[in-house]
Structure 1
Amino acid sequence: MRPYLPAFATILLVATPASALKPPREESPANREILAAVGAGNSDAALEQAIAAAAAYPLGSLQNPVRVAGPEGERSYLARLRCADGASPDIGAKRPAGVSGYGSVANLYPLDCRAAGPGKLDLVMDQYHAEHVETRAPAGFTFETR
């Protein structure tokens, strides 16, 4: 009789569940406390405490990484380093070092001064210190004089 009736009934059955859906949430599904902490960083007092605690360890170690501002800061710092004979160290491939004394992920750079001092060193750098320029060199190293 009416061939369009079964087709119309099928459309109603399929469309009903879709129309019953709630609209998407207007806010993020992430935990509000986590969202509030994103970008908050450390307070100045907490950073000063971390710097004081790190000072008990050698500069360039995981507990006291060289603090730099991003990958450019890492490259700039490494370019200034000099071995005891004044030559630049050979710099190996960067790899993850773990969580630094400052609580962020640090990078490790193998350095090799060949026969000159200090020899080989795994230098750890923390690139999450915007606007910081490290003025100290690890033990046995100096900086290029400009």
Structure 2
Amino acid sequence: MSSQILKEENVVIGAALSSKEEAIRTVGNILVDQGYVETDYIASMMEREELTSTYMGNYIAIPHGTEDSKSQIKSSGLSIVQAPDGVDYGDGNKVKLLIGIAGKGDEHLEILSKIALVCSDADNVEKMLQATTKQELLAQFEEVK
């Protein structure tokens, strides 16, 4: 995965999140702060969540904007927030790893497929949940080509 799409500055380890909304804002703000998206993209991420949950199972959620928000994406990027205590994501689901996505053009499909490869392996997910450094967490993505 390109180092421009996912870099250390895009990762937060050990976050304490009080709600799903705070969790989505946290991953969204990283995308904004790193210059991948315009501020309005966060509202689009919230809107997307109301349409259908981005909870994927295995303690993972992948918040992203709606189809209409494509114009708010400046370049493709990912943000990852690890929340060891988890956050209530509704419907009895607890999320401990949030992966925010901004995909320019059709790149979001490629990005999603790489995330799916990494997250389909329970060992990889466990390593990301147990990671104490950004480098440890990012190492799980570097193994996927």
TM-score range, shorter chain: under 0.3
Q: Tell me which protein shows more helix as a share of its residues.
A: 2
Where relative contact order (Cα < 8 A, 6+ residues apart) is larger, the structure is: 2
Q: TM-score, normalised by structure 2?
A: 0.26
| Larger gyration radius, structure 1 or structure 2 | 1
Q: TM-score, normalised by structure 1?
A: 0.25
